[in-house]
Amino acid sequence: MLTAGILVADDITYAGLLFGFFLLAIPIAIMRITKLGMERESLTAIFRMTVQLFLAGLFLTVIFDMNNPVLTLSWFIMMISFAAFESIQRQGMSFRYLYLPVLASFLFGNLLILLYINFFVIDLSNVFDARYFIPIGGILLGNSLSGNIIGVSNFYSNLKRNQNRYISSLSFGAKMHEALLPYLRSGLRSALKPAVGDISTIGIVHLPGMMTGQLIAGSTPMLAIKYQVAVMVGVYASTVTCVTLSIILTTYVCFDEYGILKERMFRKDSVIG
């Protein structure tokens, strides 16, 4: 569709969106045939996603129209707050002790990289421009959240399984950071392997969501590619930074003065270890 000389994406009607939901008949039928038992869980997740996205759409419409730096930054900090909460919940760890360290790692690891991209890479006159700040920030945050859940969980699960070996390292004179280094490496490696695999197949195996959205909206392929490359580099940098900071900062509250892991850092229903 061409409007005022600018190519824009065709709108999806609500009737068309309803037809999209009919596709769910395929996975539901497979679940019924295989007796997988995930029909209710899947439909609930789809319903929650739809409601959350439409509510987010309403809020973002207001934020984009106002384009106020304070409002934009407040929305992003709220996103970070929810991401930190979700990360701790999925890791089965104590919210009381770990929330602030994880929140700090997400805030530092995502906000600074986002500002760097907006200022140096995209060269925006207003680095808090809501139409760039929130979508790109959301991509960075979503990917770093996934990496954080995998990396931090791997770090503490390996540490709990090998606690005797870790304590032996301390007893033989290793400093705490030296004894923890192998587990840090393992946590980082587990968090980054999916990201490396995803990055290495972009452009050949699949086109990522941001690039696809720009192409549908009418951007030229080369412009979409440049944005995608810049964002994926930022995603990788933010993931490495957030996972590393989360592990390091949480060690300050998860270990006692003798370098021993505190059991109260894990919830009773935790599957870690």
Domain spans of the chain, in order of start: 11-66, 68-265
Quickly state the pLDDT bin for 1 (edges 50, 70, 90).
Answer: very low
C-alpha distances out from residue 38 to 6, 22, 45, Å? 44, 17, 10
CB contact set of 246 (below 8 Å; sequence gap of 6+):
87, 101, 102, 105, 106, 148, 151, 152
> Worst-scoring range by mean pLDDT, 45-54, 220-229, 238-247, 263-272?
263-272
Between CA 273 and CA 270 the distance in angstroms is 8
Between CA 3 and CA 32 the distance in angstroms is 46
CB contact set of 202 (below 8 Å; sequence gap of 6+):
208, 228, 232
pLDDT reading at 5 higher than 60: no
pLDDT reading at 271 higher than 70: no
pLDDT reading at 239 higher than 70: yes
Angle made by CA atoms 220, 223, 5, in degrees to the nearest 5: 45
Cβ pair 245, 147 in contact under 8 A: no
For residue 3, give both structure tokens.
């409007």
Q: Which residues pair with 3 in a beta bridge?
A: 6
pLDDT reading at 87 higher than 80: yes
Question: What is the pLDDT at residue 270?
Answer: 55
pLDDT reading at 7 higher than 80: no
With 0-12 / 13-18 / 19 or more C-beta atoms within 10 angstroms meaning exposed / middle / buried, residue 144 is: buried
pLDDT reading at 3 higher than 50: no
Give the residue-averaged pLDDT of 115-134: 96
Give the residue-averaged pLDDT of 203-226: 82
CA 32 to chain CA centroid, Å, is: 32
Give the residue-averaged pLDDT of 3-11: 52
Residue with tokens 């089965």: 92
Question: What is the pLDDT at residue 8?
Answer: 52
